[in-house]
Structures are given as structure tokens and as C-alpha cells.
A = this chain, B = another copy of it.
Amino acid sequence: MGNSAEKWIRDLVKPIEEDLMSGAAELALRAIIIFQTIMKEKKAEKPEVLRSYLTEAAKQLVGTQPAMAPVFHLSNSVLIAIKDCQSSDELIEKCQDTLDEFEKTLCASAARIADLAYDLIEPGSLVFAYSFSSTVVSALLNARSRGRYFRVACTESRPSLEGRKLASRLNSGGIEVIHTFDTAMGLILPACSVAFMGCDCMALPGVVNKVGSWMLAVGCRELKVPLYALSGTEKFVSEERLFEFEKHERPGSEVWEDAPREINVVNSQFDLVPFDLFSGLVTERGILQAADIKELISNYAVHDSLKLETASS
């Protein structure tokens, strides 16, 4: 693949790399559009060329958002689906089917999770929600539209402040919102009946999500506030892939723009919450406990282009 083709894909993927405001499911929906754009723009190309474009996009997407399991699974499914296609028409059809199926599954999961979460929201209560998760937003808006009255407390989620996006979205949806800065969750949690968070990826060690999720979880346990992660099972990854999130370092200048040069400003985006800190994991297959997780970790085939380099390789 030539430099200009690679650059064209880099430009397509760039907005996803820069998107620190969206949850994992939302990023996968954005990735679907990128695959569709490539198919549309390159449909006249031979199948090998088309495949190399889609493979490059898959690699870049996974590399740029290494913590986001749905982006990985979507990309992996696409590459496996188009692996043996002989014609461009066949390749495009298989790719489109995979994208459609993935989107349908994501939406069906979110709807089922919203129904399960409804029963966790006590009428008249205050619900805590952290960071931004489209799964959490759809659960809260669904509960509101079914007539349940409750308020939501949320915090800003430094440094990207995607908590403001959450607050605005819920407010527009008719939910009364109390907003504060992150460390003040310690002051507001005692008034909350339940806390919800999303999930970027998970495996046996626990749930990876926006930094602060671990503090929230430890705080919830201390205050006896039940904490649930709302997440479709498309967030499960293998244990070796789980720790890919540690690669996602952002520039320190996003935390402190004009810091003295000698100060080392660290901007890590994710942390890992052990399963035993949750009251449950709300998935499309039901509300699961730590003990249920093991049998759900799916063994999935990984396309060669997306295989991780192991320590010995």
C-alpha cells in the first residue's frame, strides 16, 4: 500500500483518534462509517486492493483506540469476513453484512441492558453516572421515557470533560442533573442509591474504563452504594488484549498546557476495576456476577493483521 493511500486512511481515522468524548460503543459506530466510506470510494478497485485498504483501516483503528473492545471486534469481524472473497462485489457484500450485523447487535444489546437497568433505578432516587457511555445514557433516557422519575449526579471527567457531554445529553432528555468536579463524587455519592458506569473492555481481571472508575468503585464500596457496569458482552477481550489500554497515553499538555518544562505531566486515560468491586455487570445476557464472567470470556479467532506481538516475538 502506497504512502498516499495510507495517509488517506490516516485522515479518515484521525477524528476517531482525537475523540476522547465518546464511549466504546459510540466509537464502534463511528468506525462503521469509516469502513463504509472506504468501500464506497474504492468499490472500483480489485479485491486485493480493497482488502488492503480495509486491513489498513482496521489496524489503524485498533492501534489508535487500543482500549475500545467494540472497535477491535468490529475490525476483526470485518477482516475475517472478507478474508477469502474473490471479487470486489462479494467482498463489499460480506463487509456490509458484517457492519450491519455488528450495529444491529450493539443496538439490541443497548436496548436489553436499558430494560435491565430500569429495575435498578429506584423511583425518586439520585443515580450517579460516571464519564460518558452511550449505553448508560440510553438506559437512563429509556427509564425516564418509561415515566420513572429520578435525578442524576455526574462529574466532569477530567481531562476531556466528557462528563459535561453526559450532563448536557441527560438534561436535554428531561432528566434533572447535578454536576460537580470529579473528587467531589465523595461528597455526592452518599446521597446516591446506585452508581452506573460504562465499560471500554473487559476480561477476567476486570473492567477497563475511563480513569476515575477505580476511585468511584472503591468509594462506592466504602459508602455501600451499589455500582453496576452497563456493558454488552462485545466488550469482552482476551486477557492479553486487556492491557493494551496502557498504551493509550495522551499528551500531558491536555492536562496542563503551560506546565514548567521540568514537570512530568502524565495523561493516562484508563484504569482497571476488579470485578469484585461491582454489585453486578448489566449485559444483554442478564445481570452477571463476578463468578459468571469466566464462562462468558469468548474464544474468538483473531485475524493475523490484528494479532498482538507476544513478549517472545
**Interface of A with B (CB < 8 Å)?**
156-159, 164, 167-168, 171, 176-188, 211-212, 214-215, 218-219, 222, 252, 255-256, 259-260, 262-268, 271
Can you tell how many copies of this chain the complex includes? 2
Q: Are A264 and B178 in contact (CB under 8 A)?
A: yes
Q: A218–B264 Cα gap in the complex (Å)?
A: 25
Q: A215–B211 Cα gap in the complex (Å)?
A: 14
Q: Are A182 and B156 in contact (CB under 8 A)?
A: no
Which of chain B's residues has its CB closest to A212's CB?
B183
* A181: B residues at CB distance < 8 A: 158-159, 182, 211, 255, 267
Known: A211-B187, A260-B168. A158 touches B182 (CB 8 A): yes
* A218: B residues at CB distance < 8 A: 186, 218-219, 222
> A156 CB to closest chain B CB, in angstroms?
7
Q: A99–B163 Cα gap in the complex (Å)?
A: 46
| 24 A-B contacts (beta carbon < 8 Å) | A156-B255, A159-B181, A167-B260, A167-B263, A168-B263, A178-B263, A179-B255, A179-B259, A179-B263, A180-B267, A180-B268, A181-B255, A182-B183, A183-B212, A183-B215, A184-B212, A184-B271, A186-B211, A186-B271, A187-B211, A187-B214, A187-B271, A188-B266, A218-B219
Q: Are A184 and B268 in contact (CB under 8 A)?
A: yes
> A200 CB to closest chain B CB, in angstroms?
15
> A140 CB to closest chain B CB, in angstroms?
14
Q: A215–B219 Cα gap in the complex (Å)?
A: 7
* A158: B residues at CB distance < 8 A: 156, 158, 181-183
* A184: B residues at CB distance < 8 A: 211-212, 266-268, 271
Partner of A264, one of B177, B185, B255, B271: B177
> A133 CB to closest chain B CB, in angstroms?
16
Q: A214–B179 Cα gap in the complex (Å)?
A: 19
Q: Are A186 and B215 in contact (CB under 8 A)?
A: yes
* A185: B residues at CB distance < 8 A: 215
Partner of A171, one of B188, B214, B255, B260: B260
> A12 CB to closest chain B CB, in angstroms?
30
* A179: B residues at CB distance < 8 A: 252, 255-256, 259, 263-266
Partner of A265, one of B180, B222, B265: B180
Q: A250–B268 Cα gap in the complex (Å)?
A: 29
Beyond A167-B263, A184-B211, A184-B266, 13 extra complex contacts between A and B, CB < 8 Å: A158-B181, A158-B182, A178-B266, A179-B266, A180-B268, A181-B182, A182-B183, A183-B211, A186-B214, A186-B218, A186-B271, A188-B266, A218-B219
Ordered nearest first, which 10 A-B pairs have the shortest CB separation? A183-B212, A158-B181, A186-B214, A180-B266, A178-B264, A186-B215, A177-B263, A182-B183, A179-B265, A184-B211
Q: Are A259 and B159 in contact (CB under 8 A)?
A: no
> A172 CB to closest chain B CB, in angstroms?
8
